[in-house]
Every structure is written in C-alpha cells, then in structure tokens.
Structure 1
Amino acid sequence: MVLLHGDRAKSPALWSTGVASIPPSSSTVGVLLDTGNLVLTDASNTSVVLWQSFDHFGDTWLPGGRLGRNKRTGEVTRLFAWKGYDDPAPGVFALELDPNGTSQYLLNWNGSMEYWTSGNWTGDGFTGVPELKAYSNSPMSMYNFGYVDGKDESYFFYDVKDEAVVTRFLVDVTGQIKFLTWVKSAGQWILFWTEPKAQCDVYALCGAFAACVENELPSCRCLRGFRERRPLAWLQGAHAEGCVRDTALQQCARGGGGVQGATREAKNDDGFYAMPDVRLPSDARGVVAAASARDCELACIGECSCTAYSYNGSCWLWHGGLVNLQDMSTSSSTGTGGGSGTILIRLAASEFTSPGHTKTLIIALVAVAAAVAAVTVAVLVSVFVLRRRRRLKAQRRVVEGSLMPFTYRDMQSVTNNFSDKLGGGSFGSVFKGSLPDATATLVAVKKLEGVRQGEKQFRAEVSTIGTIQHVNLIRLLGFCSEGTRRLLVYEHMPNGSLDRHLFSSGPGPGHGVLSWETRYQIALGVARGLDYLHDKCRDCIIHCDIKPENILLDDAFAVKVADFGLAKLMGRDISRVLTTMRGTVGYLAPEWITGTAITAKADVFSYGMLLFEIVSGRRNVEQRPDGTVDFFPSAAASRLLDGDVKSTVDRRLDGDAEVGEVERACKVACWCVQDEEGARPSMGTVVQALEGLVDVGMPPVPRMLKVLGDPANYVKFFSGLPST
C-alpha cells in the first residue's frame, strides 16, 4: 500500500507499508476491521496477514493491539506523540517497553531521557500504577489488561468486555499518556487516567529556553529575551520546539568567546538575567571550580556555548538549549529532576537598559507623571463618589481563569454590607452580592470562619482552587485576604442548593418536584465533578463534605459542586490522615468514626448516601411519629435484593421513572457505601456505571446497613459525634 501526492509517475511516495515479499501472482486487499486495525491480506487466503496497522502505532493504541518487542527480529512497537496538534509527524515523546528487558513501560523524550515509568508487572498490575490493579479487580471493570513475556515476544495488551465501549490510549502532544473513553451521550472523550499527573513533570515539555509553570494556562512561557519558535503551534498547546533568542549573543557573534575573552570588558557585551525560585535543569554539562559567584559568571561568559549558570557554593554551567526549567514561584511542588534555586540566563547586552538611557527615561517619566498627577487630582475631586465602583469595574476586566483580589470594603459594597444571606455551612456563611460591572454580575460571597493559615499559605491554596475549572464544579472568581478576614467570591447559582428542591414540597419558588430525568442528570453531574477532583487534578482533592446543601444548581439545573478544596488539600499520597474531621453526620464514611486513614473513597461513601436521597426525595434519616428512626439506605438495599426497586423512588413522581436507571442508581449507591473502602468503586467508575458503559453487578448488603436497619442501633452508632 502506497500513499502518493499527485501524479504517481512524477511524485515520490509519501508513505508505504513497506511490504516487498508479495508474490506477483497474488491479489492483495485492504480491510479496516471493527477494531480499528487496518489489515492487508491475500485475497485468496484472508488468514494470511501481510501487514497490519496494529504493528505500527502512531500516537494511539486501540484495544487488541500489542505494545512490546519481538525478541526474534528486534522490532519494537511504540507510541509516538504527534509533533503538533495539526502535524501528525512523530514528535519527541514516546511510550515503549523498557529496552533493558524489564517488564515496565517508559515514557521518554527524544528516545533518551526517561521521565515516567509504569513499574514492573506483578501479574495483575504495574507497581507504579496501583489504580490500574484496583480497577481491574473491581466488579465494575469493563477492561481486561495483561502482560505476556514469551520466548519470541514480550508485550502488554488490553481489550474491552463490551464491544460497545469505545476507548483508546494516547500519547498526547503534551507528553502525557492518557486513557480515554468515548461517552456517546456527552459527545466527547472523557479522561479516565493520565500520567504524569503534573504537567511540568514531562521532560522538556516547553522545549529550549522556556519555563514550565504548574497550574497555569498555558503551561509554558518563553524566558525573558526569547520568543516562540513556532507561534501557531505554541497557541495550539504544542510547546516542545521551545523558544529562540530575540537578539543573538553579541560577544560570541563577533568571535569574542573563549577563556581569553572572559575579561571585565568582555562582560559588558553580554549580561545575565537572574531567575529565582526555579527547578534547575538536571543536565548541567560542566561543574567548574569557582571561589565566588563572580568567578562562576566569568567562567560562563568565557564560553560561547554557555547559556546559563547557577552558584550555590558550587558553580554549575549549562550549555546549548536550556530545557526542563520550571518556575516554582507560584507552585508548592518541588517537581522532579534537578534541585531548586536561582539560575542566571545569558542575554545580549541590548536586552538590558543602559544607565544613560535609564536616566533619560526617568526624567521623561517624572515629567509625564507630574502632568498626569495634576489632571488626576482634578478628576478625582469630581468623581470621588464613583471611585470605588470604577475601580471594581476595572478589576472585573481580567483574563479568564485569573482571580480578582478584593478588599474588605469591596466585599461590603458588593454584598450591601452582607445583608442578603444565602445560607451557611461547615466553613462559614454565604451572602448574595452584585459586582458593579455592565451586567451587574451576581456572585456568592463566603465568609470563612476559623481559618488559621497565614497570608502566604491562604493565597497559595486559593490560587490552586482558582485553577480548577470543570463544568460540574463551582467557579471561584476572587478572594479577600485582609488581616484576619478571609472571603471567597464564587459565581452565583440561581436555583440554589439541591436540598431546596429535593426535600421541600411547600409553595413558592424552588419547591417543585424534580423529575426523574433531572435527578439522574444531577447524580451524574456530581459524580463527574468528584471524579475530576479525585483523579484529574494535579493534586487529589478530597471534598470531605458531600451533601445536598453543597450541590448547587444553575438556571438549567446543571450541577455545580461547591466547597471543594476548603478541607485540607491532599497530595498524591492520599493515604495521609486528615487532621480535622469534617463532614455531616449521616454522610460520613466509617473511616471517620474508626479513626483510620481518610482517602478519596470517603467521598465515594458520601456520594452513595447522597444518591439514595436523590432516588427517594427524602432524608436518609427520618424520625417516625413514635420517636424511632427510619434509615432509608437499609430499606433500599433490602428492596434491591427483592427486585422491588421501583418502591424506592420518590412517591411524588407517581412512578414516572425509568426503572433501569433506578436499579442502576440503587446498585451504584450500595457499592459506594460498602464497609471496606477497597470494595468501593472510584468516582470515575461510578460515572461509567451511571452512563451505562458497564454492567453493575448486584452488590452485597454492607454490614453497616444491616446493623443500621435497626433504629436503636442507628442511634447508638452515631451517639457522641459532633453535629454541623
């Protein structure tokens, strides 16, 4: 098979299968199989495969394909990232089986620098990918994974249990491996798993002379004195080709390099720009003896190939393109690779302002400033009353994704001195407000209570929350940190919280009975939001307070999960114990009570309890007229086993509910509230189950539900716990 451009006789082949051993008398046919495998076979004997695309991956690996090595021929199948989002040529990032013969898979840059490994295969998973093993053993798993190490070949494979499931592995332009599943109802690919989790852990992600900045978009930015090599590719998110100098190094351009050129006069030709708080590149090519930072600078200036240096008692020099640099000034992470410190980047003298020019510029600026000040004073006198509103309007004109800083006076003005209270919760009270912009944007202002973090830590955590954006998570717009006062400004949700619509049946707005279709979409939206917090963010964020009051609804009843990130932010080691118990009694996982480690599975438990309430339209715990307590989840689990799920549905719906979805929701809820956290599914699996991508098996009735089926035991179980 040959791909040509134009006239075959005049143009060379753009691509071919390279199959040369086909008998002249045979007839060859190409078939695209349902698996996505393009196969060339002998027309007279289709069992003879002459060539197949599954032996020659691009950036995508489909179920049924084998990723590994042929031990007889030495041929290797690997995944190559595209060079750019619009350029399918092989890029610099690749995934392949360890060439040293181990059973681990590596992500590497340019075929040389390894920056992520799966860990060795243990028989049911890779040591570095524990979530794969956990999911494979889950009753909700829809994939089969395996590794074969035979005499002739070694390879990793996967397939799907249901052919209706569409999935793929992808090595993205960003250098990350991603496992994606197509959700037909949403019309988009949903990210199931990715590595490395932190974008800046991809080696040379930003190319030469650029810095990676975690939790910012775009993740890469050129260093001072440099510009994008391919601006269009840069805008599209492909940064691997890096940046180039605005101005060539002047000393080297005229041949002044070399040790002999390392004089005080030569230094005036090129200069150095200090960049503090960076993760230093790990590829320093030379370490020279230097008694001081000045000696280190002269050592670098004396070599034309030296592009940067760092001195911390020892002198480190970098030559050629400077790659894998990370700006740590806005990050709490130390990243991977080299240590952190200050690096000095070599620039041409023209990149620095001369003293004479500076003096002239200062004089000009002073003159202009004096004139402007006189005019400004006159203007301020006439518009003093509107000053604050105009300043706030100017603040509103920010780049999408950034946070607006407010003063406490701003907050008093926005909320009319906190006169309209929307509600309160575990972290403080919420007030309705209106920004003084052209559309009078409505906001919800939360006054945080009991915040003990210092100014720097608070701003760092707020900055992290501000970068988290998902269609099912409430968006943080701004903040106030003034003295001991801490406030957060969120987008306003006109339909309020879920509890208003789920449990109320009185007159007035917000008291209509939610249809089953709306309830199911709400359940799905909450699951998607939690899945994003747990597995799609750079750090796993455990919500710790999932309940109807923290599920907000916009004007179309789309879900926005609120209060995420306000409990302690967790690192990727999510087995750490939270130091402060949060949550609401009735939604708490057993781990909170037993004192064992808290993980993301605590949120899964709370979600299960919430799902029961969405189905029933009532609180899980209700007091009967005789004073005893009715615990609905126990009754729901019993009815599920009896095949009577329809009786679990809110009576106000008069049976108007899709029985299959009700059964699926009840099964998922029971799986979520299993006693052992290891038996609970991840939120990603919950999403797939509710979307109907996997068959949900009949769950065992948790011991806790059996015990709490007795009202007396329920009271004993929660006695002595704090209320919220």
Structure 2
Amino acid sequence: MGPSVLFFLAAATPLHALDYSTAKPSTIWINSDDFFDNRNYSRNIFSIVQTQDHSDFQLYIAAGFYCVSSMFPCDKFLFAVSIGDFVDTMVGIYNRQIVWSANGARPVRENATLEFTADGNLVLADADGTHIWSSNTSSQGVDGMKITEFGNIVLFDHKNAIVWQSFDHPTDTVFTGQSLVEGTRLTSSTSVATMYITAERGGLFAYAESTPPKLYFECSMPIPVGNIGNYPTKVTLMNGSLTFILGQDFLNESITLPVAQSTQYMRLDSDGHLRLYEWSGPIERWTVVYDILGSLGIDPCDYPTVCGEYGVCRGGQCTCPLESNSSSGYFKPMDERKPNLGCTPLTPISCEEIQHHQFLAIPNIYYYDQNYTNFHSITYNETIMDACKQACLKNCSCMAVLSTGIECVWVTKILSLHSIEPETIGYNSSAYLKVQLSPTNGDKEKAHLNPSKKNKKKVIIGATVGVIATLLLLVIVAAIYLRRRGDYEEKDEEFDFDQLTGMPTRFSFKMLRECTEGFSRKLGEGGFGSVFEGKLGEDKVAVKRLESARQGKKEFLEEVQTIGSIEHINLVRLIGFCAEKFERLLVYEYVSRGSLDRWIYYRHENAPLDWCTRCRIIMDIAKGLCYLHEDCRRKIAHLDIKPQNILLDDNFNAKVANFGLCKLMNRDQSKVVTMMRGTPGYLAPEWLTSSITEKVDVYSFGVVIMEIISGRRNIDNSQPGENFHLINLLREKEQTNQLIDLIDRHSEEMISCKEEVIQMMKLALWCLQNDSTRRPSMSTVIKVLEGVARIETSEAILIMFAKNNAPAYSAPSQASIISGPR
C-alpha cells in the first residue's frame, strides 16, 4: 500500500460514521504540506469524533504531525495526539490540546514519514531517513492500529487484544481511565528545569530534575498489612477521584476530584502544578477545574520554579538573595517587572577564577524535602561543615551548600529557594550560595588578614589616584577646548537619562551590534530605519536601528519612557533602547510570524487565513488601539495603522507595533495640531487640516479591516482603473448591494460565511466616515465584535459615506513624512 494520508474532517458526524480511526499494516503517512490544516498547523493522519451523550457539543480526537516551532514555514513537528474543537464565532477560538507525543525531544521536519510496517511496527523517521522513534512491536502479531475516544493509540492483534498502547507511555497528560504505573512518569519541561511526577511504591511523588533531584511533593499512602508482592503501585484517574492501588486489586485510598460534566484530563504543567482540565460549554474551551497538588496542601513557594533560578520565595512574593543584614547583594532580577522569572549573578561564576569563589549565606531556607536519600551529604558538625564548604569551593560544579542542622548537602543547580521561619520546619536551615568576586573585591577580602600588604596597597592606591586625577584634569581641559571650537556632538548629549523614572532597559550600541551579529539579519525596513533579528541571552528580539538622530536625546528618551511604560497583550513590547551620540535604536520583543501583510496579500504563497483567524486578528487590533486611546495615562494616537505594522505570533494573535510616528495627547485635549504623518491610503480626511484626534486611527483601522476581508491592498496598481482604490470600490459595491464581490476569493470558507463577512464590512464603513465625530470609539468597536452592541444605523452611515467620500491622499505624499513598511 503506497503513501497515504487521511485528512481530518471537521464534520458534525456521529462517531460510528467516521471511517478515519483505524489503519492496517503496510501504510505510510508523509508529513506533507498537501494536507495542511491552517487553523493550527497540523497534518492529521486519523481521527474520530467523540460525542457526549449529555451535551450537544462534540470533540475531535486526531493523531498526526503538529508544528512546535515559531518559524514559518514550520521546521519542527511532533507525531502527536490532540483533542479539541473548532468554534465558529465572530471572534473564533480554535482549541486543540496536544495530549501525547512520540518524539517530544526529537522533532522531525517536513517530509518526515510515519510507517506502519508490514510486520506491525510503527516507525517514525525524519526526512533524511534518520530513525526517530518506534513502537518496537515487530513480529508481535499486530493486525491493526486505531485511536480510541480518549485519545489512546492502540496496536491490536487479530483477536483485538492490545499489543501496544500510547496510554502506557504518557508524556505530560493522563486521561480518565488511564493509570500512571510505577516506573512511568508525567514530564513537563521549561527553560529553568524539567519536572516530573511518578508513581513509586506507596504513593505519588513530584520532582524537579537537578543534581540531586528536588522532591517538592509527595502523597504517600499507608502500605497495607501483609505482603503486597511484586505488583506495582498504580495511580488511576477516575471520574471523580484519583485512585491509588497498592498490590493486586487492593484499593488503598483515593483523592476526591470534581465529577466530570464532560471530557477531563490531568496534566503536569510547566510550572509544576498538577491540574485537572475539563471541556466546558457554552464557552467551549479547556478550563482548569482543580489544582490537585494545591488541594493537598502544598505551599505555593514549594514549586521548584515559582521564582525562577536563584529566586527567593516568601509568602508568595519573589526577591533576589541578599546578604544577611544588608540591602545589597550579588544578584539582580532577570526582569525588574517580572520578579518570578528569577535572578542572575551580577558576576557569572567562572571556573577559571575559582580562587575568587565565596559563599553568600542565606538563613532560614527550606529547599529540599526532608528525605535526603541519594543526596551528596556529609553528617553535620561544625568542623565537617567547614570542610564540606571548602570542598564545594574547590569543585566548580557545586553551586551551593545547604545546611539542615543535620547534614551538609551539595547542589549543582539553584532553583527557587523557600524562605521560612525556623520554627516551621523545626531546625535551622541555611543556604550558602556560591558567588564570584571580582579580582579587586577578592583582594579586599584578603587584605584585612595581612596589615603589611594592606599598607603597601594604600601606597599603591594613593599613587594611582594621583595619576588618575592628573589625567582626568587633562581630559577636562581638552573637553572644554574642543567644545569651544564647536564640537559636532549633540547639544543635549550630557542629558542624564536617569532623570526619567520608569525607563526600559538601556543597552550599549556595542551590545546591540553583537546581539544582532553586526546587524546582519535584516527582518524588514521602512522610511525611518531597518529592523534586525537579535538574541539577548536565550530570547530573540527585534532591534530597530533608526536611520538618523532626528531629535535630541532628551526628547527621544522622554518618548521612550512613555512607550516603554505601556504593556498590553496586543501591543508589541518595547524591551529597551540605545542612545549613543547619533545612534538611536529600539529593542522590541520578537514576534515569530512577521507582519500581517505577508499573510493577506499572498506574496509568499501561503494558505489563506480562515474566517475565524481573520476575525480574531481584527479583534486583537481593536483591543490594542483601545488600550492606547482609552487606558493609558495620556492618550496615544498611533497614526500609522496598516498591515505592515501589525505583527502575528505563533498562534496568529495580533500585536500592534511601531510607535515611531505616535502622538501623545493629554486627556483634556479634544484635538491636536501636528505635521502630517502616516502612509498613503490609510490617512483620514482631517489630515488636510493638520488638526487630528485619535479617531484617525479608527479610520485606518477601517481600511485594514477591508484589506483583511478582501485579501488585497487598499491602493493596488495591478488592479483595473475602476478597482484601483479599495475604499472607492467599497462605496460603489455598497450602493449596488454587491459587497459580496469584495470577499477574498482565495477562501471558499469566507464565501460560506458571507453574512458575517458583510456585517464586518459594515463595521468598516462605520469607521471610514469623513466626519471623525461619527466614527465609533475603539471600545465601541470591541463591543460590536463581541456581539454586545449594534452597528449604528446602516442607512445613516451609508448616506454619509456616499456623499463625496473619496478616500483622502490616494496620491503619494512627501517622502520625508510618509513611512514605508517598518
């Protein structure tokens, strides 16, 4: 049997009517773009519909290739099982949850193959033929493969007996009826640590992988009287309980859980929580219904990554380690605004400078569970404790020493520390964190032990200070001389950016040049500069290098201060900036799928966006603009809303970007006079007067809605003369009741949803009125999209729109004030 793929059909069909849940040996599935599900970038191999008898909704269970990369086109896929549904609403939500994968640690590429061999083995190979994973069931009499209504992939023999099943090899999820058997585990990974929950003899135990492993939770059940033999412990998720079975058919105890109203699963999440999820309607999404570990009394500070690496958790709050009785320290937050991300040493630990390693003592730290089995430990007394610490200082892999009052424990990776009162745990527990002293500081530490060396150092320091003072005086004289001769430096170069509070991170030009590899990876360019891909630590960033210092440093920094203070899920976040001499750079978060224009103009031969994705993008843009207009301390008019300035993340969530042309307005200002700025085709008519309000963004938003719906540019030279301008064409089609002609012909689905699409066009018409006072506010637009408000009387809008409503500025404007794609 040749290569084949059974495509997932989202049809409301009873379970028994779908013939896509089974397969026979000697079948090959190829990870091919011919079978591309645009809603979640998956290629489904076989699937079924799970119908709930007590509800009117259905869940689709599918196995196939799923994209796990932020790149486009995708370069990393898992062979996995998902469960979920597609909700077709005005602001559609697509809910598919991966519940099992075969190759989580080794993603495959395009054209990888999954082969169900003639001898009954399921084999996954990469595009170059590299073996990735297999079920190892050759010659075991496998007769077929199926996926069950609970997402279990089963290989069965001719008697329909199970030979192999994915339920025996869980990843991070357990379904109702599935057991976690002794020796198996649920695993969830983050950039900080890998956490896992495993069934062990007598209970359920949760660890963070480190050296030694960090036990952060245990639920032990009493071992029954008598010999339980070699029967393994099993923990089974039942409807309404988590059941522990010790020994053959011996039910020891169970934990009560919420009774299922629909499909449930239990998942170990990346933050270490074990949560119970349930599909809930009418919202129709996966919802957390129970935090299992939390219900069993675990302290929020006991989760291994609650405060990131080196973070100290106390009462649910995260801080960095401080020396006893001191307000200074050797650590700084990874992100001042997000203390839960952890801390990093001010001076990284260097194995080449091991002589400058010292310990920072942090008292009253509860780090490990009291079970220290398999830990590298030494029985405690004061002399041996000192020897233990000295041995750690000589071993570069040892990053900390923990004293429990009983033992000395070495740790090679520092996860979150739990600060607690000594009486709570019944003994004195301290953490000694290894820190790196600079050579200068290291000498200071040693100097007080040797007075003669200290006096010599004083003489050397005195002479050095004298030389430095002389050189400094010469530099000052030279600087004054150069300034008097008309130095070309900016007049405000001496402006101290520390005068402005709440500034984002300031980067040096050298650092940004290095992180972008010499500005070599260009993402895009426009009228005011180019954008380059960079990397700060493990995080990708987008670095915008402005072409010239068009404004003074003080004005630039004040603008950065304002833009840096706004944070919203639908606005691209400004991470930092650089202002050195004539260099002006802005550092933004990296958004993986690029700008909206590449997805709606079909320049990259991409598949058309489905209607729900387009609706969600429109809603996201509206929310971002509403925040700028109505929720900031000062109103912010973006002034350059266009598809090139709307970025899309992995899940096609939209973020408004590029605030280079924005205008700040006081709350009491009804209008502001400013120089014309923006892009031809998106400019509101009131720009002719140079007196504008935030409603110019509403007009541009209306243009963007029409481009998203039609799949073409507003001003398109490739179109016939009468169709050259999209907004003119919109007016004509509305007058002749032919709006359906403007729907993107690449998408048959949009034609089938024509009533909703036409309503969206009428919302665009409301935003495109000449009179700015008649346009809706963005908060009103959101209410319309959510279905809680109606579009203003269509007739009134159309009369206003039909009266000489030709779009403003269809001809190019001055290049100096018009921006290109940025």
Question: Structures share a fold, TM > 0.5?
Answer: no
Tell me which interval the TM-score lies in, with the shorter structure as reference length. 0.3 to 0.5
After TM superposition, the score normalised by the length of structure 1 is: 0.42
After TM superposition, the score normalised by the length of structure 2 is: 0.37
